[in-house]
Structure 1
Amino acid sequence: MMPKQSIYYKKCLQAALYFGISGLVTFTACNKDPYLPNSEAKYVELGYGDATYGNDNDAEPLMTGIKYMTYNIHAGAPPANPGTTDLQAIADAINAADPDIVFLQEVDKNTGRNGYNGDQAKDLGELTQMNFTFYSAISYGKGFYGVAILSKYPLKGVKKYLLPKENADEEQRVMGIAMVDLPGKDSIYVAVTHLQHNSATSRVAQITEVGNIADNLQHRLLIGGDMNEKPSATDFFAVFDAHFTRGCSGVNCPNTFSAQNPTSIIDYLAYKPANAFSVKSYAVMPEAKGSDHLPVVSELNINR
């Protein structure tokens, strides 16, 4: 099967040939690695996503519910065995939950970290039999580090948005978006992010940008990620809750960090618009082997 990056270049070249001389400008703009983390543009078009699984589903019945997960995978490094990588433990947690959509944070691609040189999003896609797309945030080692989405159904319209930061020294954060081709001539947007860990000001600016981007889509959307913010942060959640409905809010929501001693909530699942879904279940998985975060899983009823 042709690598996804080769498909990207092929589509750019086809566009250039179709538009003639003016298309050469298009091809020149396309002739870049689409995974490069930094860009002068506000967002980067990554084109078509993976469609290895779940194709040709228009004749299938519409889904009445959808299950989604967010999981900070700690670059696949098990806390009990630093310096190693155990993607199978991450895949086992995902397979046990059997979600339709997975939002991943702290994902490596070709970094060489912990002796691992592969594409973690791609490898997890294979281990879970899900489609994948990766969004780089920064260069790391020999490769990239960022967030990813896994989906049982084909991914389309993949975009990466660069999020604002308080100062230039902060790590670049991104929001990854894709449209999922659901069964029965249906679709939904999905979005993943991982916000700044050491600046409340940047987190508010970032979630403001995330919310504005989501509102402009004007379509049903599921979002998940490591927000690095506790529920007590009133400034942050005044913005978050203006754009999204949290899958769980209040005093009875399960702690998500650390996996080994869960005392706080920093990982969240949410959706929009509020009347498009109702929450059937919301929980963390007691999985402490693969990462320092617990996987968060929610099942929604789709209101039609």
Structure 2
Amino acid sequence: MRTILSLFFSIVSIVACANDGPDGRPAKRVKSLKVMTYNIHHCNPPSAGNKIDVPAIAQVIRKEKPDFVALQEVDVNTERSGKGMHQARELARLTGMHYFFSKAIDHQGGDYGVAVLSRFPILDSTRFILPVDPVLGGETRTIAAVTVEIAKGKRVIFASTHLDLKEPNRISQSERIIAHFKDSGLPMIIGGDFNARPESPVIKLWDQHFTRSCQECAPTIPVEKPNRTIDFIMFKPDGAFKGQSTRVIDEQYASDHLPVVAELKVN
């Protein structure tokens, strides 16, 4: 009898494991996703001089337990952050997530750009440079996008970007991103520092193609007495997800931006 019971529980255990996805989630269906976007200021707390504090950023992420994180202002092997310090890789290690880094510019002997973290294994990744008007000038910007499987047979694209300080560049960069993923055929979530307010032409352009996780979005900068909303989470198509909640986390030490967290229902 004991042998029969042991065999029964073994079979149940095997079936349960077969239906588990990353972190023990059911592989057949995922009901919701938690998404964060965070401009991490190269892990340099503004109040701490030149100190680089990667664990502080990791702690913010771990506390929220997101499925995806869009990171901006990420250093890799720079003098200011330390040769041999790959911030995206280290944050992935400290949070137990997968990562993909997209270089934007050379900086202090290393690289600087955007990145994504994902609880789900990365199946594919894409990086491309965003346009800058040569007359206006501006810092090179890129996008980091990954494809993951959140449930059996259900793939999504998750991306991170950081748009330029000049509005004409932001508009052309937005047009480039929207056009690139227009015919992807997969649901998509993007987070980033858009350097644009909700009422701006840039965000109005995005609103034509993506759905923001919030319409009345709380300010994200500066960290003390924030008064501007420039960090957003968006998704498409509208029927793939439904924004359930969006919160701006009151974390005033680790960066000069406040992190944004959205709960998305998966339809």
Q: Deviations over 1:127-179 (max 9, x none)?
A: 10000110000011111000000000111221101111122741111111110
Given that residues 36 and 262 in structure 2 are in contact (C-alpha distance below 8 angstroms), is that contact kept between their aligned partners in structure 1? yes
Given that residues 57 and 185 in structure 1 are in contact (C-alpha distance below 8 angstroms), is that contact kept between their aligned partners in structure 2? no
Query: In the alignment, does 2:217 pair up with 1:253?
Result: yes
Counterpart of 1:281 (choices 221, 245, 253) is 245
Given that residues 58 and 184 in structure 1 are in contact (C-alpha distance below 8 angstroms), is that contact kept between their aligned partners in structure 2? no
Query: In the alignment, does 2:265 pair up with 1:301?
Result: yes
Distance in 2 separating the partners of 1:90 and 1:217: 32
Specify the SS of the correspondent of 1:203.
Answer: helix
User: What residue is the counterpart of 1:155 in the other structure?
Assistant: 122
1:74-153 superposed matches below 5 A? 74-115=41-82, 117-153=84-120
Given that residues 73 and 293 in structure 1 are in contact (C-alpha distance below 8 angstroms), is that contact kept between their aligned partners in structure 2? yes
Counterpart of 1:205 (choices 162, 172, 175) is 172
Given that residues 57 and 184 in structure 1 are in contact (C-alpha distance below 8 angstroms), is that contact kept between their aligned partners in structure 2? no
User: What residue is the counterpart of 2:142 in the other structure?
Assistant: 174
User: What residue is the counterpart of 1:5 in the other structure?
Assistant: none
RMSD over aligned CA atoms reads 1.8
Distance in 1 separating the partners of 2:25 and 2:48: 45
Counterpart of 1:229 (choices 193, 196, 213) is 196
Distance in 2 separating the partners of 1:221 and 1:172: 23
TM-score (norm 2): 0.88
Kindly provide the amino acid, as one letter, of the partner of residue 117 in structure 2. L
TM-score (norm 1): 0.77
- Seen in structure 2, the aligned counterparts of structure 1 residues 260 and 117 have a Cα distance that, compared at 3 Å, is farther
Q: Deviations over 1:78-112 (max 9, x none)?
A: 01112110111101110111100000000000012
Q: Which runs of 5+ in 1 are unaligned?
A: 1-53
Given that residues 22 and 119 in structure 2 are in contact (C-alpha distance below 8 angstroms), is that contact kept between their aligned partners in structure 1? no
Structure index of larger Rg: 2
Specify the SS of the correspondent of 1:156.
Answer: strand
Q: Which runs of 5+ in 2 are unaligned?
A: 1-20
Percent of paired sites with the same residue: 37
Q: Deviations over 1:220-244 (max 9, x none)?
A: 00000000001121x2123111111
- Seen in structure 2, the aligned counterparts of structure 1 residues 64 and 143 have a Cα distance that, compared at 3 Å, is same
Given that residues 194 and 225 in structure 1 are in contact (C-alpha distance below 8 angstroms), is that contact kept between their aligned partners in structure 2? yes
Distance in 2 separating the partners of 1:58 and 1:280: 20
User: What residue is the counterpart of 1:14 in the other structure?
Assistant: none
Given that residues 70 and 102 in structure 1 are in contact (C-alpha distance below 8 angstroms), is that contact kept between their aligned partners in structure 2? yes
Kindly provide the amino acid, as one letter, of the partner of residue 258 in structure 2. L
After superposing the two structures, state which structure 1 stretch, 138-147 or 162-171, moved more: 162-171
